[in-house]
């Protein structure tokens, strides 16, 4: 079953979207996900700066 995440504080950096959500234990988590068709890149981070760095350095192969 996929996790249901309610994102807040969303920001788009190129084709990558960065969003913040609460995990099941109430902690802040941050996700960077590429929205380009066929790319499939996404990663979860505990730090917002790390998620934004991943978004800035991501290069699509699609």
The residues pairing with 18 across neighbouring beta strands, listed in sequence order, are: 11, 32
When pLDDT is cut at 50, 70 and 90, the band that residue 2 belongs to is low
pLDDT at position 56:
95
The sheet with strand 28-34 has its strands ordered as 8-13, 16-22, 28-34, 42-45
Residue 57: exposed, middle, or buried by beta-carbon count in 10 A (0-12, 13-18, 19+)? exposed
Residues 4-61: tens digit of each pLDDT:
778 888 999 999 999 999 988 889 999 999 999 999 999 999 999 999 999 999 998 7
CB 39 within 8 A of CB 15: yes
pLDDT at position 3:
67
Q: What is the pTM of this model?
A: 0.83
What values do phi and psi take at 13, rounded to 5?
-125, 100
């Amino acid at each position: 079953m996929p996790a249901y995440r309610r994102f807040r504080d969303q920001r788009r950096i190129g084709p990558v979207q960065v969003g913040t959500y609460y995990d099941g234990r109430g902690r802040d988590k941050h996700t960077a996900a590429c929205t380009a068709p066929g790319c499939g890149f996404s990663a979860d981070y505990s730090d917002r700066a790390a998620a934004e760095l991943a978004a800035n350095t991501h290069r699509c192969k699609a």
